[in-house]
Amino acid sequence: METFDAINKRASVREYLNKPVPKDMLEKLVDAGRRAPTARAVEPWEFIVVTERRTLDELGGMISTGLFLKQATACVVVFCNDTKYYLEDGSAATENILLAATDLGLGTCWIAGDKKEYCEAVARFLGVPPHMKLISLISVGWASKDVKQRKHRQVKDVLHWEKF
């Protein structure tokens, strides 16, 4: 798939088939994440790939806006060390993973991490050192219905040549 095809096709998927995602695909997602741009080249990220049903269910129970983790067959959890640009770096890695997943035909949804009330609980549950920042939880699975992009603001409405 061409890069623009993946960008045009990506949309949040919250309903999944009960069908596992092969391990090599999940590794590819992390491979894409770790290649993201990173301020001062510090690469502050760590990626936890969760595939165990019980763990996914428990995460879904902790996160009110991520209940659908109980349906997903995998989740990539992105944590970063507390560097100056941890949020930008972790977000760049997250977007790389979303696009790579689209390329592989997988459905994903970015679930909020940073500054959420469940950060500490999620870190404790996954055995992550408390100084690390939760950036995102990315639900992963095979979409159970056709994925359609939502309507986006048009280029003509968001593009400003030279000055605002």
By the criterion CB under 6 A, which residues form the site for ligand FMN? 11-12, 14, 65-66, 109-112, 150
| CB of 101 vs ligand FMN, minimal distance in Å | 12
| CB of 109 vs ligand FMN, minimal distance in Å | 5
Cβ proximity to ligand FMN: between 24 and 154 the closer is 154
The neighbour count for residue 142, using CB atoms within 10 Å, is 16
Rounded Cα–Cα distance for residues 99 and 6 (Å): 6
Nearest CA to 107 out of 152, 74, 153 is that of: 74
Cβ proximity to ligand FMN: between 62 and 112 the closer is 112
Cβ proximity to ligand FMN: between 99 and 104 the closer is 99
| CB of 68 vs ligand FMN, minimal distance in Å | 7
> DSSP of 37-72, one letter per residue?
--GGG---EEEEEE--HHHHHHHHHH-GGGGGGGT-
Rounded Cα–Cα distance for residues 115 and 83 (Å): 15
| CB of 88 vs ligand FMN, minimal distance in Å | 12
118: three-class secondary structure by DSSP: coil
Cβ proximity to ligand FMN: between 151 and 163 the closer is 151
